Structure 1
Amino acid sequence: MSNDRLNTVNFPLPSGWALKERQKYGKKGAGKRIAKKVRKILEGYFLAGNADKSDRYTAQDMYQALQQRVLEGDIEAEDVPKVSTIQSWIGRYTRQHREHAAQTSVI
């Protein structure tokens, strides 16, 4: 075996790994987005739980409520996000909601 053949066999990365078209930079947030209609429904569930602390929705509760909406024909099944996506959305929306509430209470 030649020396060049040995180097390519033991190299841990696949051929072409450094090509510009294979780079994944700048693609943050390029995935599937939550549909506007679904986002509005999630906001309603969040605000209902915010108004009455005993009626709080968890991410799993919201997911099940969205699945029920699919059965009723209000939304499409492919528009329902995963539980982990809903959980992330709750975290972001909670932060935004608190910031908005803090700004309006100061004014």
Structure 2
Amino acid sequence: MPIPSHVERRAMEAARQQGIPEAFQEAFQKAFQKGFQEGFQEGFQEGLQKGLQEGLQLVREIVLEFLNERFNPLPAEVIDRINQISDYETLQQLLERGMSIGSLAEFEQVLAELMTDN
């Protein structure tokens, strides 16, 4: 992502105000650009990771809410095991299987199988 021109102008103006000689200003500009790019990339990656984690947590909550409605009360060990799942596809499979399965005992078997497979 290119640095917005007004940000770069401000950085160069700050360099001049700090007394950085003109000969070093090009190096300063390159260092600033590199730092900006790395900072942007790091921030983007952190934001993406946080978003993925929040999305997984939301899916877990949906699965748990549905299962709690279906098999109320949902045992604490089932809740703990589902909260350990960090794979979207596994959570989706649990939700799909939970919709059609006949009993909590059957669901616990499916949960054990899916957690062993993944």
TM-score (norm 1): 0.32
Tell me which protein shows more helix as a share of its residues.
2
TM-score (norm 2): 0.29
